Each structure stands twice: as C-alpha cells, then as structure tokens.
Amino acid sequence: MKKKAVISLRKVWKIYKMGSATVNALRGVTLDVWQGEFVAIIGPSGSGKSTLMNLVGALDKPSRGHIFLDGKDISLMEESDLAQIRGQKIGFIFQQFNLLPALSATGNVGLPMIFQGIPEAKRVERATELLNSVNLGERLNHKPNELSGGQQQRVAIARALANEPEMLLADEPTGNLDSKTGGEIMSMLEDLHTKKGRTIVLVTHDIHLVKHAERVIYLKDGQIEKVVKNHKRGHKHA
C-alpha cells in the first residue's frame, strides 16, 4: 500500500525583516515526510533548522510557498484553525521538557487532551496508560521537580502521544540529558517508530543522533544541501 505524505512543503520561503535588513531564513525548501518514516533534520546554527521545525510543526506560516498537513494547506489557515489541527496532528517533544511544575505527571500528560474536549476520566485513563508505556507507572502523581531529567523527558514523550498524533516532532530531545539518559530516550523514540509505526521528525545539531533516522536532511544557509538515506535502517522513499 502506498504511504501518504503526512506533511509536504512546496517551495517554502521564510523571510524575516530585521530593521532595514531582510533575512531569508529558508529559501525555496521542498520536502515530504512520509507516514511511518523517521527523518532527522540537521544543520549548524543559522542553517534554518529551527525555522523549518516551526513550519513543519505548524507553529508558523511560510512567507512564500505552501505547506500541506494531512492534505490541508496550512499556509492559508487562521491561527485558531492552525492551533486546532496542530493539537490533533502533531506531538511535540522539546529540549526543555516544558512541563508545568504545578501538575503531576498524569496532569501534564492529560493537558493536551483538555484542548480536544476529552472528559477527565478518559484523560486520566489514557495518561496512566501512556505513563505505564514509558515505564513511569510508579511516578503518576509526582511533579516535575520530583523527577530526574530523563523521567521528565519520558513524561514529555507520553504527553506528545496523548492525542494520537500523526507525527512526533522532537526538537533536540537529548539536549539537556547526559549521554546515557539521552541514549535511552533515543532508543525509546526508535522503538515508537519501529514497533508502533510512528512518524518522527528529529531536529538536531548532533551528528551522533542521526543514526536513529532512516533519512537525514542536511540544511545549510536556508536550503537543503543534501538528503542521505541511512542504509543501516533503509527506507523506500528518497
């Protein structure tokens, strides 16, 4: 069965005005992310990868070009519609974890479900199930400051899965972790891909992380410099 593109970028530009100067952060990027694929986007500081992440995550709209998320052109959407589709289709995992300190692990995982109108009993049930799946069944009522960095990131992964998104977007997910804990988090993401068929986009500057991906997009000066398939993992889409 032919896989579909979860997100497609077509000749996308992002242009910022900085006083009298114009900065072309992205210049004519065309890219597809396929259902069930693990893609890494890598580039040095200033390459445009953060801008690209914001566009792939529907956190921003392009200056020129089109972005299709699940077949809908998000470049034409109002922010309220964009927020709704973002909440349904994309799960975010950030370097800083971004957990709310006043909420327990269960409360943090349940938060995205509130915005989708899911009743409390169902939220608690699903959050508990997800926390068990990331081996935090004994930490359900712990607040972030009672958890290690690795545990907080696992809560963040569970939260990202709350609304059964079509795509997980991981922005430097190991950036605040030691190498051993970071390796455990990357193994967890790889398992979500290989065992659960999750679509994952990893944004990083760390060349050591790209081995987990099937396809690596190298960015330079706002453009795709090259695309490399990871033959260790293999994938039929170029």
Task: Give the whole-angstrom CA distance, residue 66 versus residue 162.
Answer: 28
Sign of the torsion formed by the C-alpha atoms of 5, 185, 229 and 60 = positive
Question: pLDDT digit string (tens) for 51-69?
Answer: 999 999 999 999 999 999 8
Burial code (b: 16+ CB inside 10 Å, e: under 16) for 18-27 equals eeeeeebbbb
Structure tokens at 136: 């935090």
Residue 126 token pair:
């699903």
Q: What is the mean pLDDT of residues 61-85?
A: 90
Nearest to 176 by CA among 144, 201, 198: 144
Q: Is pLDDT at 232 greater than 70 in this prediction?
A: no
Q: For 143-166, write each residue's pLDDT tens digit.
A: 999 999 999 999 999 999 999 999
Report CA-CA distances (Å) from 66 to 14, 24, 32, 90, 201: 11, 16, 12, 18, 19
Distance CA 202, CA 24 (A): 23
pLDDT surpassing 70 at residue 179:
yes
Q: Please, are residues 38 and 188 in contact by the beta-carbon 8 Å criterion?
A: no
Question: pLDDT, tens digit, for every residue of 189-223?
Answer: 999 999 999 999 999 999 999 999 999 999 999 99
pLDDT exceeds 60 at position 236: no
Angle at 148 between CA 144 and CA 153, to 5 degrees: 70
| Residue-range domains of the chain with CATH | 35-63+77-229 (3.40.50.300)
* ∠ CA 115-201-145, rounded to 5°: 55
Q: 88-131 pLDDT, tens per residue?
A: 899 999 989 999 999 999 999 999 999 889 999 999 999 999 99
Residue 16's pLDDT is what? 92
3-state secondary structure of 173: coil
Tell me how far apart the alpha carbons of residues 166 and 111 are, in angstroms, rounded to a whole number.
Answer: 18
